[in-house]
């Protein structure tokens, strides 16, 4: 399949932050084959006219728990620990594969419609998620969020359920769909496991060439309890076991310290900034400008839709920008360009993916935003409009891995009516009782 985009205005997300004007972008198979003001030679299977629209790379949402879409708006008004223990964990205990499939389908639809082409997800029932993602067409780094609550001396990888999950997930799904699915190793968090699991997961990731996905220093209490238990921060505690010796993403990092950032910069650990979730749960504000200045790669995530209430990464881009400008009393602390980098190129780097930019050879992960929409007129600067004015609903096309999967409100790989029916008739009654159907 080949596609030629004409009359293209595009943010290429290259090192010079180039805007292509009245240009052409060509796609062959799953990759971009041409970018420029000259029309490429040859015939194309389809031609898409981009007049009135702005193209940018699809978003990379680097921290999600996608089936938690089923818990959108549930248990609001609580801090992280109360919200988890009183609302989320009891609901999650009722989940089965069919409900997870329904929640994943709904979450994927929302993400695709708002311009996401690649995610990093951490959740249970991971093979079910992998199947849904494969069919939907976006790329995903999937992990199962390893926990271990038993006595450290009783740990065995043969009896630890999440070690078995990790092995099965890796063997069955790593590299599936010609790399569409990558499996990451994962430790849910320092406070939900102990040293034997950290050591096993670090060794397993290194031996199998996997990335690593961990929640880090999301709340003050979690961070301080780790200091009390181990005399070190979560970043430095896990560093002792080699957890950061592979490509790694650390979600949240709200209470991380300059010493943590030095470890992260040296070892190439990316921070995933989740501003909406952190503010909604009252967790705090991650020191993102300082982390960037310290050489840490910072990407952007929504977190689960239970603590964000939306999968619209436009919300997080805007929030990241205005939040840090406000905290720093500096309108240059987080420019539109930096916010766009968090959501695209930095996310791609965090996940080890050849996406997040528009260049020959990069994955054909592209979105079109309708700049004829009232909220995007006038346009003095495309980046300003994309970060501070646009919403996910302004996305009119999503191409993932060279295939158009969403166009003008239509889902081309998902059956949204069937998904909504499954959510309403099966998943919600299972989790919350008949009254919620």
Which distant-in-sequence residues (6+ apart) come within 8 Å of 303 by Cβ?
63, 64, 65, 251, 274, 276, 277
Q: Whole-number minimum distance, CB 64 to Zn ion, in Å? A: 8
- For Zn ion, give the closer residue by CB, 25 or 80: 80
Q: Concatenate the DSSP letters of all residues of 83-101 into one string.
A: HIIIIIHHHHTT--HHHHH
Q: Whole-number minimum distance, CB 277 to Zn ion, in Å? A: 7
- For Zn ion, give the closer residue by CB, 194 or 277: 277
Q: Whole-number minimum distance, CB 94 to Zn ion, in Å? A: 20
The per-residue b/e assignment along 186-207, b for 16 or more CB within 10 angstroms, e otherwise, is bbbbbbbbbbbbbebbbbbbee
Q: Which helix (H) or strand (E) holds 162?
A: helix 161-173
Q: Concatenate the DSSP letters of all residues of 368-424 into one string.
A: EEETTSGGG-S-S-HHHHHHHT--GGGEEEEEETTEEEEETTEESS--HHHHHHHII
- For Zn ion, give the closer residue by CB, 68 or 423: 68
Separation between Cα atoms, residue 171 and residue 62, nearest integer Å: 23
Closest CA to 143 of 165, 159, 161: 165
- For Zn ion, give the closer residue by CB, 218 or 382: 218
Separation between Cα atoms, residue 48 and residue 66, nearest integer Å: 31
Token pair, residue 400, equals 């993932």
Number of H helices, E strands in the chain: 18, 18
- For Zn ion, give the closer residue by CB, 303 or 341: 303
- For Zn ion, give the closer residue by CB, 303 or 316: 303
By beta carbon distance, the residue nearest Zn ion is 303
**Do strands 53-57 and 46-49 pair parallel, antiparallel, or not at all (unpaired)?**
unpaired
Q: Whole-number minimum distance, CB 38 to Zn ion, in Å? A: 45
Q: Whole-number minimum distance, CB 428 to Zn ion, in Å? A: 22
| DSSP letter, residue 363 | B
The CA–CA distances, whole Å, from 356 to 2, 55, 402 equal: 20, 12, 14
- For Zn ion, give the closer residue by CB, 30 or 141: 141
Q: Which helix (H) or strand (E) holds 187?
A: strand 185-189
Q: Which residues bind Zn ion (CB under 5 A)?
A: 303
Q: Whole-number minimum distance, CB 68 to Zn ion, in Å? A: 9
- For Zn ion, give the closer residue by CB, 5 or 83: 83
Q: Whole-number minimum distance, CB 340 to Zn ion, in Å? A: 23
Q: Whole-number minimum distance, CB 189 to Zn ion, in Å? A: 9
Q: Whole-number minimum distance, CB 80 to Zn ion, in Å? A: 10
Q: For tokens 């991380």, name the residue.
A: 256
- For Zn ion, give the closer residue by CB, 222 or 303: 303
């Amino acid at each position: 399949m080949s596609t030629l985009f004409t009359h293209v205005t595009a943010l290429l997300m290259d090192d010079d932050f180039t805007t292509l004007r009245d240009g052409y972008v060509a796609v062959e198979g799953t990759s971009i084959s041409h970018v420029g003001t000259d029309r490429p030679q040859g015939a194309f299977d389809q031609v898409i006219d981009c007049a009135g629209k702005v193209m940018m790379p699809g978003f990379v949402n680097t921290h999600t728990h996608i089936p938690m879409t089923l818990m959108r708006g549930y248990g609001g008004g609580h801090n992280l620990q109360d919200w988890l223990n009183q609302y989320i964990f009891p609901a999650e205990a009722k989940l089965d594969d069919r409900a997870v499939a329904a929640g994943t389908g709904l979450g994927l639809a929302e993400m695709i419609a708002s311009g996401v082409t690649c995610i990093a997800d951490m959740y249970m029932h991971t093979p079910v998620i992998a199947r849904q993602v494969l069919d939907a067409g976006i790329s995903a780094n999937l992990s199962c969020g390893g926990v271990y609550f038993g006595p450290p001396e009783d740990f065995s990888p043969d009896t630890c359920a999440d070690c078995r999950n990790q092995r099965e997930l890796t063997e069955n799904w790593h590299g599936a769909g010609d790399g569409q699915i990558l499996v990451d190793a994962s430790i849910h968090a320092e406070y939900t496991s102990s040293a034997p699991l950290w050591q096993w997961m670090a060794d397993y990731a290194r031996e199998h060439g996997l990335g690593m996905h961990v929640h880090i220093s999301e709340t003050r209490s979690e961070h301080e309890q780790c200091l009390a238990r181990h005399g070190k921060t979560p970043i430095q505690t896990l560093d002792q076991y080699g957890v950061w010796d592979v490509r790694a993403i650390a979600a949240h990092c709200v209470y991380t310290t300059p010493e943590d950032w030095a470890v992260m910069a040296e070892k190439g650990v990316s921070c995933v900034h989740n501003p909406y979730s952190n503010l909604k749960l009252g967790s705090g504000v991650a020191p993102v400008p300082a982390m960037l200045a310290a050489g840490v790669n910072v990407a952007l995530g929504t977190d689960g839709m239970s603590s964000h209430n939306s999968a619209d990464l436009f919300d997080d881009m805007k929030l990241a920008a205005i939040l840090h400008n406000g905290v720093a009393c500096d309108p240059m602390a987080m420019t539109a360009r930096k916010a766009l980098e968090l959501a695209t190129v930095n996310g791609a780097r965090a996940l080890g993916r050849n996406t997040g930019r528009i260049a020959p050879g990069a994955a054909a992960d592209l979105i079109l935003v309708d700049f004829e929409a009232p909220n995007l007129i006038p346009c003095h600067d495309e980046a300003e409009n994309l970060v501070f004015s646009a919403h996910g609903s302004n996305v009119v096309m999503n191409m993932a891995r060279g295939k158009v999967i969403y166009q003008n409100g239509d889902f081309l790989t998902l059956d949204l009516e069937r998904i909504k029916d499954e959510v309403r008739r099966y998943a919600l009654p299972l989790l919350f009782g008949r009254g919620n159907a």
